[in-house]
Structure 1
Amino acid sequence: MIEVGIIGEAKDIVSENNIAKTLRSGELMVYATPAMIALMEEAAYKSIQGELEEGKGSVGTLMNVKHLVSTPIGMNVTAKSELIEVDRRRLVFKVEAFDERDKIGEGIHERFIIDNESFQNKTDNK
């Protein structure tokens, strides 16, 4: 059973692959906001994956975050999530991201528990 308080974590290293210039979110060679958001989502979804019934998964439906400071190529980034609300299939997480020196992002992320096969079939038949 999924309960409030589940903690998650995901890690990344800033490289040419996840900078703003590469991900088309800007021109600079700094950690991209879309990369930070993806890392936050990874921390959240992985934290609950082992608690779900077989065949179930979760999909992100809302991300409301602030990217607070920039991070250069070569630095480590860690995203953390904490499940703060469970409303049937709706899950709300507090998410944060840190580089080696600063908190770089914070916000709220919402996911819904879904049946993987049904969800994929519905999408494929769109």
Structure 2
Amino acid sequence: MLTTGTKGKAEVKVDDTNTAVTMGSGSLKVFATPAMIALIEKAACTALEGQLEDGQTTVGTKLDVAHVAATPVGMNVTAEAVLTEIDNRRLVFEVVARDEKDVIGKGSHERFIVNAEKFTAKTYGKV
């Protein structure tokens, strides 16, 4: 059963695959904002591991995150997500990302619980 306070964590090392210049989100060789967002979503998903019913998964529906500091290649970045609100199938997380020196990102992230099979069928019904 889902409860507020549930936490998840994810970590990545900044390398040439997740810089702004490589990901097309800027021209600098620093940790890319899209990479930080993906790490935050991974942390939220980690918080939910083993917490959902069979056949359920979650999809990200909203992000309100500020990227407040840059991180160079070679540093590790850790994202943490804490489940702060449960509203039926809507889940709200407080999120923070840190490198080895600073908080680099913070905000909130919403996910929605869906039936994986039905969601996939509806999505691919577009084709």
Could you say whether these structures have the same fold, taking a TM-score greater than 0.5 normalized by the shorter chain as the test? yes
Offset, 1:110: 0.2
Tell me the CA shift for residue 66 of structure 1. 0.3
| Alpha-carbon distance, 1:116 to partner | 0.3
Report whether the alignment pairs 1:40 with 2:40: yes
Show the counterpart of 2:22: 22
RMSD in angstroms over aligned alpha carbons? 0.5
Q: Distance in 2 between matches of 1:46 and 1:119?
A: 20
Please give the secondary structure, in 2, of the residue aligned with 1:17.
coil
| Aligned residue in 1 for 2:82 | 82
**Distance (Å, rounded) in 1 between the aligned partners of 2:98 and 2:41:** 14
- Structure 1: unaligned runs, 5 residues or longer: none
Whole-Å separation in 2 of the counterparts to 1:45 and 1:114 = 13
CA contact (8 A) 1:71 1:99 kept: yes
SS in 2 for 1:29: coil
Counterpart contact for 1:8–1:46, Cα < 8 Å: yes
Report the Cα distance in structure 2 between the residues aligned to 1:83 and 1:17, rounded to whole angstroms.
29
Q: Identity of paired residues, percent?
A: 52
* CA-CA distance at 1:75 after TM superposition: 0.2
SS at match of 2:17: helix
Does the aligned pair in 2 maintain the 1:8–1:47 contact within 8 Å? yes
Q: Counterpart of 1:78 in structure 2: which amino acid?
A: T
Superimposed CA distance per residue, residues 60-116 of structure 1 (whole angstroms, 9 cap, x where no aligned partner)? 000110001000000000000000000000000000000000000000000000000
Deviation at residue 49 of structure 1 after TM alignment: 2.5
With structure 2 as the length reference, what TM-score do the two structures score?
0.98
**So what's the TM-score if we normalise by structure 1?**
0.99
The ranges of structure 1 where at least 4 consecutive aligned residues each deviate by more than 2 angstroms after the TM superposition are none
Match of 2:111 in 1: 111
